[in-house]
Structures are given as C-alpha cells and as structure tokens.
Homo-oligomer: A and B are copies of this chain.
Amino acid sequence: MFRTKIGEETELALMEHRHARELFELIEGNRAHLRAWMNWVDQRRTQADVANYVATSLKQYALNQGIHTGIWEKGKLCGMIIICPIEWPNKATHLEYWMGAEYEGRGIMRASCRAMVDYAFGTLDLHRLTIRCATENRRSRAIPEELGFTFEGISRDAEWVNDHFVDHAVYGLIKGDKTS
C-alpha cells in the first residue's frame, strides 16, 4: 500500500520506520561505493543512525518540507530519491538520488527520477527543480542530462566529500521545459 508502480517491477514508496533495517543493509552493503560521492555515508554507520535518519526524514515529510522515497526493484530496496527542502514560496526544490552498485545500469534510476519529476510538477504543482552533481560524477550527471534539465553553471568547491572539496554541476528544470 502507498506504493507507486513504475513499469512492471519498480516501485516508489515513502521511507518509513519499518524500512529502516532494509535501508541500513543497503547502505552497509554499498559503503565504499556510496562513500565516493556521498558525504552522509560516514554519518550513518549504525542501525541507530539510520533509524534516526528515517525519523528525521519523516518529520520533514510531516512538516511538508521534504519527501524521502525508497526505490524497490522486484521487492528489494535498491536506492532512494529525495526532494528536500521544498521552498513553497518559490515552488522550488532539490532532487537527490543514490543507488546500490548492483542495481546500476538498468535504467531504474532514470525511470524513478522521471516519475518523481512528474510528481513534483503534477501532484505537488512545483515550478522548478534543481539537481546538483559533483562535476566528475558522470553517472550521476547523466540523469539530469537525459531527463532534459538545463545545465546552469558550476559551483566551485561546493561540497566537502570526506577529504576534499568537489565542484558541483548545477542543472535546473522549469515546469513547461521540454523533457525527454
């Protein structure tokens, strides 16, 4: 229940307390993989850290400030898409996403992000979406480029990832832009 099908085998659903263990295991099994580009990996070391993250994300949802969504493939949690924070006065939000290594290369994330874009512009009636990727994270940048986002510039040294700064490539999509 409260899941949305995308194609035959993919589903999106809110990340809830009862998924915390499954989420912990996905992170645990992909720690090195995720750590290359994600600065939060070292903050979610234990089951308690992850349970805490889920509680925080549900509070954001309850306050209408963000939606942390899991992606399930054939019933197995394989990644997340997050829109957060939602700036309601500007009808704008950021989109973030990550995935376990073993699920990459099948188009799951692209399809999931496309569904999330439709949800944001349709159901939520937002006006602008931003995606920020480390400039050298080619796999991540492929998502906004394939979905028709416009490249808007480079933020130098925008994020500290473990032990160095990375530049961000910034992409924007406005409601009404032609998407693919």
Chain A residues close to B by CB (< 8 Å): 1-4, 12-14, 16-18, 39, 55, 58-59, 61-64, 89-92, 115, 119, 123-124, 127-128, 130, 150, 152-160, 165, 170, 172, 174
Contact = CB atoms under 8 A, between A and B. Distances in A.
Given A2-B12, A128-B155, 11 more contacts: A1-B119, A2-B4, A2-B14, A16-B64, A18-B124, A58-B62, A59-B59, A62-B62, A152-B156, A153-B153, A156-B172
Contacts of A170: 152-153, 155, 170
B155 A152 contact: yes
Contacts of A160: 89-91, 127
A21 B108 CA distance: 35
29 contacts: A1-B4, A1-B12, A1-B123, A2-B13, A17-B64, A39-B89, A39-B90, A55-B63, A58-B61, A58-B63, A59-B62, A62-B62, A89-B160, A91-B160, A92-B157, A127-B157, A127-B165, A128-B157, A128-B158, A128-B165, A130-B155, A150-B156, A152-B156, A153-B153, A155-B170, A156-B172, A157-B174, A158-B172, A170-B170
